[in-house]
Amino acid sequence: MNIINFTPVAATIGGMIIGLAVVMFFLFNGRLIGISGIAANALSEKNNRFDNLLFLIGLVIGPILYTLFTNKEINITISNSLILLIIAGLLVGIGTRISGGCTSGHGISGLGRFSLRSIIATITFMIVGILTVLIKNYI
């Protein structure tokens, strides 16, 4: 194991900003943030649809505002294989709805309220994620 590109300060500050969004949504609106649930329900549930859509719009505006105010470009590196991305997207969409949460819903909101269900979900998707990268990169 080699440790590379380690940026703990930016990661912690970014995490705290995410935590602030979670607290705000809970204190004012009484809901816990889980992006897979918000996105899926925005599509198919009448209940809270407008709130869910506004949240998703905010999620997209956030990076744009960041670039406008800091003048920093956001660079991402993503796979060029559309087939791989379609399979990955399907797995993420199907998996998060069957298990009722993703990195935010189980990993932050669920862990934060000490839900055993979410702790087990988070450990499971972390282990399978690590194994998937291991298989993809080294086998």
Q: Restricting to residues 113-132, which ones interact with another protein according to CB under 8 A?
A: 113-117, 120-122, 124-132
Note whether 134 binds another protein by CB under 8 A: yes
According to the 3-state scheme, what is the secondary structure of 24-74? HHHHHHCCCCCHHHHHHHHHHCCCCHHHHHHHHHHHHHHHHHHHHHHCCCC
CB neighbours (10 Å) of residue 54? 12
Residue 69 CB, shortest distance to another protein, in Å, is 9
Looking up tokens 């912690």 gives 12
Q: Is the CB of 71 or the CB of 124 nearer to another protein?
A: 124
Residue 46 CB, shortest distance to another protein, in Å, is 13
Q: Which of 96, 90, 121 is nearest to 34 (CA)?
A: 96
Note whether 49 binds another protein by CB under 8 A: no
Near another protein by CB under 8 A: residue from 21, 46, 68, 139: 21
The residues in 52-91 that bind another protein, with binding defined as CB under 8 A, are 52, 54-66, 74-80, 82, 84-91
Residue 24 CB, shortest distance to another protein, in Å, is 5
Residue 109 CB, shortest distance to another protein, in Å, is 7
Rounded to whole angstroms, how far apart are CA atoms 80 and 83? 9
